[in-house]
Amino acid sequence: MSYLFIIHDSFGEVELHPKLDLIEVKDFMGETHHNLYIGFDYYEDGEKLPYADFTVSFGEYIGMKNCAYVDTNNCRFADAILKTGIATDTNLTKQSGFWEYPLWIFKPEFLSDIGKEKYEIYSKEYDKYMSGIYPEEEIPDNDNGELFAEDLDTFFLNTADGYEEFYEDDAETKQHISDCIALGKFDEVRQMVYGVQKECYLDDDDINHFISRLDALEKDYGVKYVPNQKPSVKDKLKTHKDDIAKTTPTTQNNKKEMEL
């Protein structure tokens, strides 16, 4: 799938072609890593020209996978891009000068499509970095939606001051998290985690373990976590007819009717 975005600026309609690159930054230990860069090009008289730097870097390593700060100051069309579904707003922002830059989490299929080689380098580097902070043995072998929901809710109750004000019904909250994972709505769970982080002033280190677990669950989705769907009325009727056919004695008349 090739992504193409059409916007309208002061010169009229413009077709934007996204591109992916990597930016070198330092983490808190002074080690070099990469953040994501997304930009847009356009064509004029058959020549490809740069249109905008869609993301902005502040020189610090972003410890959340597939995330980048969006330059909404210079890209006023950002809301239109968000509505296309290529990313989710985490509700986290970075203040710089008089402007707040939102942190978006981009869908991996979008990032891979606009720069496969660069994204593979970034993804492997990120996974290796996080595995050193949170070794795989810390993630339960039998991890699932119910266990994740229980652990996340317990952690927030014990760590995040004011968490109960946002999610008063503990049982309902855990069920909602579990249901989202069962239905493949991982971005919705991420958005909830980032929202609690922002409102309760938690550090990235506080939530990174749960983000890593969520990434692992998403990777296994469709293999171990296929959602349980209720049978439709049509399916129920078919099952009922099959049961009747199995229990009805087969006579010569029955055979003729079935053949018709």
Last residue of a domain, one of 115, 132, 149: 132
Same domain, 83 and 194: no
CA distance 89 to 93: 10
Same domain, 88 and 170: no
Which one-letter DSSP state was computed for residue 136?
Answer: G
Name the pairing type of β-strands 99-106 and 47-53: unpaired
The whole-number pLDDT of residue 199 equals 81
The whole-number pLDDT of residue 242 equals 56
CA 175 to chain centre: 19
Same domain, 187 and 204: yes
Same domain, 168 and 111: no
Q: What is the mean pLDDT of residues 58-71?
A: 90
Residue 101 is assigned to a structural domain of this protein: yes
Last residue of a domain, one of 132, 156, 180: 132
Residue 227 is assigned to a structural domain of this protein: no
Write out the two tokens for 7. 């916007």
Is the CB of residue 227 less than 8 Å from the CB of residue 184?
yes
pLDDT greater than 80 at residue 57:
yes
Residue 247 is assigned to a structural domain of this protein: no
The whole-number pLDDT of residue 38 equals 96
Same domain, 158 and 201: yes
Same domain, 13 and 94: yes
Same domain, 184 and 111: no
pLDDT greater than 90 at residue 12:
no
Same domain, 104 and 173: no
How does pLDDT run across 240-260, given as a tens digit for each residue?
Answer: 555 555 444 443 443 333 333
pLDDT greater than 60 at residue 234:
no
Same domain, 72 and 142: no
Same domain, 64 and 179: no
Return all residues near 129 (Cβ < 8 A) that are at least 6 apart: 33
Supply the pTM of this predicted model: 0.59
Write out the two tokens for 225. 């976590």
Same domain, 19 and 128: yes
How does pLDDT run across 187-232, given as a tens digit for each residue?
Answer: 888 888 888 888 888 888 788 888 888 888 887 776 544 444 444 4
Residue 253 is assigned to a structural domain of this protein: no
**What are the Cα distances from residue 102, in Å, to 32, 71, 95?**
24, 8, 9
Residue 259 is assigned to a structural domain of this protein: no
Same domain, 49 and 75: yes
Q: What is the count of structural domains for the chain?
A: 2
Domain, as residue range, for 79: 5-132
CA distance 95 to 133: 27
